[in-house]
Structure 1
Amino acid sequence: MSAERVAICPGSFDPITLGHDDIIRRSFRMADRVIVAVAYSATQVKSGMFTVEERVEMIRDTFADEPRVQPMSFQGLLVDFARAQGASLIVRGLRAVSDFEYEFQMALMNRRLWDGMETVFLAPDLEHSYLSSSLVRQIAQLGGDVSPFVPANVLARLRHRFPPAAEAGQSTSTAPQAAGMIKDSILRAYEDRWVGVLLQANARLREHPGVVDAVLSFREDAGGLRPLFLVHARERGPASDADLRDYAGRDLPSEVPPPEIHFVDHLPALHAA
C-alpha cells in the first residue's frame, strides 16, 4: 500500500473564490489529501476583511462535499508547517506571467529550506484567469454582484456585510465614491484582458515600503475607461510621489493603458473586517 500523498494549498483566502476552488479540486490529480492553509502573521500590518477563523469556516463550508480537503490556519514558515503535517507538495495557481517571478523565487527558497518540498504550479481555468480575492472585495464593497465569482456560502457572507446597491437604496449606476470611483466601470472591467495585470501591479504597489495601502479602481472620461490607483502614501513629496508613479507603471505591457495615481489620506475599508 503506497503512502498517502498530502499537498498544501496556501494563501490568504480573504475570501475563497471559485478560482481557488478550481485549483484545489484539481490538486487531487496529484494528491490524496489537500490541506487548504490560511496563512497569517501575528504582526501583520494589514488586517483582512474576514478573520482567519471565518476564512477557515468558509473553506470548510465550500468543501463540505469533499472529505479529502482539510482547512487549517498557520503562521510561520510554510515548510515547517508542511513538514509537521506530513505534506511534501505545495500547489499554487498562476493567473498571469507576472505571478511567476515571485512564485518561482518562493519555490526555490522553500526547496532550499527543505529539499523534501516540491512546488507545482497550476494554470487557472480560463474563466477564472482574472479573478482574485482583492477584486471580489472591491466589487462587493461597491455593491456589485459577485455571485459569478465566489461559492454560495461566501456570497451569503458578503451580501450580509455589503448589501447589493439596489437593496441598500443606492443607484445601480453609481456607488459610494472615493476620488472618482465608478462602480459600473469596475463591473464592466473584469472582462477587459488587462485587468489581471493591473491587479498584480496593485498588489506590488501595496507591498512598496512607502505605501500604507492601495486600491485599483477605474474612471471614465471621453477617452473611455482608465485604470486608477488610489494610494495612501506614508509620506508625500515631489520625489516620493514621482517614485510611486514610476513604480506603479513599471513593467506593464505596452497595451495596458497607463494608470493614473490619486493620492488620498485614507481609503475605504476594503480590507478591514
Structure 2
Amino acid sequence: MPDSGSLEIDGDRIASVRTLAAGRQAGRDGALCAMEAVAYLAGEPLSDRPACASPVIAAFVRTWSDGLPQAARDGLILPLLPRLVGTRGPEPVERRRAGMVADWLVRVHLPAWFRLAKLNVEADVLAGLPEIRDPGDLAGLCDDLRRARNRAAIANLTLRQTGPYVRAAAWDAAQRAAWAAIRDDLEAAGGPILAAGWDAAYAAAYAAVRASGKAPLEPTRRALEETALTLVERLIAAGQTAPDAPHLADPQP
C-alpha cells in the first residue's frame, strides 16, 4: 500500500467534508465519522475501517474522534484525515506504531498525572523508562508499572468513592484511543503484558484522584490532548521511514 503522499485525493471530496459525526453513520443524511470520511476521501466503500488506512492509526483516531466534543473533533481530527489515506503499512510498521502508542501511555500520559499529583520522583522514573518500541517491551516494565499503581493508590479514596468527573479525567478520549489502538496486541501478548497495561491505566486514574481537589485537572487533560495530536503525527510519519529509524521523543505536557 503506498503512503498518503503518493495517493491523489480529489480536492472536491476534501472540501465537501466540513464536519465529523461521532460513531458510525454509513452516510446517513450525509454524515460521516472520522474513518468513514477517510474511506470517502480514498474512494472506498463507506466503512469506519478503510483498507487504505493503518489499522493502528485508524483505531486511535476512530476512538479519539468519537470521544471528543464537536468543536474539538472538527478542529483536531478533521485536518488530519487526508493524511491518513494510504497509511496502511506492513506488519513491522504496524507493530512499531503499536509500540509508539504504548510508549505514549507509559512515558507521557502516566507521568503527566503523577506530576499533577506531586509524585514527581515517580513521574521522572516513568518518563525515563526505556522507550517502548513494541508492545512486548511491556514485559520488562511489569514491576515498574505495578509499583507505580501501588504508589499512586496509597492514601487515596478508591475510584468508586470518587465522582465520575475525576474517574473519567485520566480515562479521557485520548487515553481510550490509545487503549483501542493496542488492546489486541496486549491481549495477544498474554496476561502479564495485558496486566502491565492495566497497571498503567489505573495508576493514571489513581494519580488523578490524588490530585483532585488540590489542582485543576483540565490543564493536564488539555496538555495530553496536544501530545496525542503529536503522537498521531508521528504514527503517520512512521510509515514514511524505516521501522528502526531514530526519532525524537514526545514532548512532555
Normalised by the size of structure 1, how large is the TM-score?
Answer: 0.26
Higher relative contact order (CA 8 A, sep 6+): 2
Q: What TM-score do the two structures reach when normalised by structure 2? A: 0.27
Structure having the higher helix fraction is: 2
